[in-house]
Amino acid sequence: MTAAPVDGALAGDLAGRVALVTGGGGGIGRACAVRLAAAGADVVVLDVDERRAKLAAAEAGGRALTADLADLEALGAGEVRDALGGVDILVNNAGLQHVAPIPEFPPAAFGRMLRVMVEAPFRLVQLALPGMYDRGWGRVVNVSSVHGLRASPYKAAYVTAKHALEGLSKVIALEGAEHGVTSNCVSPAYVRTPLVEDQIEGQSAAHGMPREQVVTEVMLARAAIRRLIEPEEVAELVAYLCSPGAAMITGSSQTIDGGWTAH
């Protein structure tokens, strides 16, 4: 992956700002870390995988932190807590998926997914906001999903978590407005990430279809543009929401879904 081209409107706009990206070791998170660094931010990459975090941090010219977001108590201590005190931009991106019908959905998996995708963002925001308020400037970008706006069968935990994240984002926007803090969701359809690649493989086996047919006829049947979104395309929108030009965009859900939610 290489940094996306930076046009004049964004080049250097985030100089002096500190950005922390969760799940920053790969996929959307890694693309966001690289893109925000290209716009001038000092980037902290937080990931559960230390090796991936260090590789992405090196690519973004930033530093790496390792933490399991399911361990909520650990988020309020040590390096993570210290880093959050100086963060100007928080990108809540980390996520995971489990696909099963509700009668067969493991309660432990449901609970872990909500901890990582709802409770952890709440804890991180709670730690980051006081510093943002003191400095009178902040950006919270929550990487949601089209599944934060629409439901699909067999994804009870993911759909629940993303809907909850959308609501949390709006509350942050309302509370943060008087302090110069904006909060928005970016809600993509299927992005070309390892998480989605695993789903494609599973659907391919279940339906007896080639991978490309699974993408166009099963996963993206409701979209107008039937291709996977590239992580860099999501990162471009994240970077814009962090820019000075997006100061009046808050409490919103910005879809990047190829027309999925136009129906």
* 29 occurs within a structural domain: yes
158 is catalytic: yes
Look at residues 181, 196, 201, 86 and name the one whose alpha carbon lies nearest to residue 140: 181
Kindly indicate the confidence band of residue 254, based on its pLDDT and cuts at 50, 70 and 90: very high
Residue 38: domain span:
18-192+229-255
Task: Report the pLDDT value the prediction gives residue 214, as an integer from 0 to 100.
Answer: 72
Q: Where are the alpha helices (DSSP H) in 10-155?
A: 27-38, 50-60, 72-75, 78-85, 107-114, 120-135
Binning pLDDT at 50, 70 and 90, where does residue 10 land? low
Residue 170 belongs to a domain with what CATH number?
3.40.50.720
Task: Give residue 236's pLDDT.
Answer: 97
202, part of any domain: no
Mean pLDDT of 137-145: 98
Report yes or no on 66 lying in a domain. Answer: yes
Residue 8 lies in a domain: no
> In the chain, how many domains are there?
1
Is 148 among the domain residues?
Answer: yes
- What is the Cα–Cα distance from 127 to 149, expressed in whole angstroms? 27
H or E element at residue 148: none
pLDDT digits (tens, 9 = 90+) for 194-208: 778 777 777 777 778
In a domain, 124, yes or no: yes
* pLDDT score recorded for residue 6: 47
Q: Is residue 7 part of a domain?
A: no
Q: What sections of the chain are H helices per DSSP?
A: 27-38, 50-60, 72-75, 78-85, 107-114, 120-135, 156-176, 194-207, 211-214, 231-241
CB 225 within 8 A of CB 28: no
Phi/psi of residue 143, each to 5°?
A: -80, 100
Share of the chain above pLDDT 70, in %: 95
When pLDDT is cut at 50, 70 and 90, the band that residue 263 belongs to is confident
- Name the β-bridge partners of 181: 138
* Residue 112 confidence class, pLDDT cut points 50, 70, 90: very high
User: Residues with Cβ < 8 Å from 116, sequence gap 6 or more?
Assistant: 69, 70, 94, 95, 96, 161
- Which listed residue (133, 154, 158, 240) is catalytic? 158
Mean pLDDT is lowest, of 25-29, 175-179, 224-228, 232-236, for 224-228
pLDDT digits over 215-229, tens only?
Answer: 777 788 888 999 899
Q: What is the pTM of this model?
A: 0.92
Residue 198, pLDDT score? 76
The 10s digit of each residue's pLDDT in 55-66 is 999 999 999 999
| Mean pLDDT lowest among 165-179, 206-220, 237-251 | 206-220
pLDDT digits (tens, 9 = 90+) for 28-82: 999 999 999 999 999 999 999 999 999 999 999 999 999 999 999 989 888 999 9
At 11, the pLDDT band (50, 70, 90 cuts) reads low
pLDDT recorded at residue 217: 77
Does residue 87 belong to any structural domain of this protein? yes
Q: Which two tokens stand for residue 149?
A: 């706006």
pLDDT for residue 3? 43
Which one-letter DSSP state was computed for residue 47? Answer: E
How far apart CA 110 and CA 80 sit, in angstroms, is 25
Rounded CA gap, 131 and 151, in Å? Answer: 36
Q: Inform me whether the pLDDT recorded for 4 exceeds 50.
A: no
How far apart are the C-alpha atoms of 262 and 257, rounded to whole Å?
A: 9
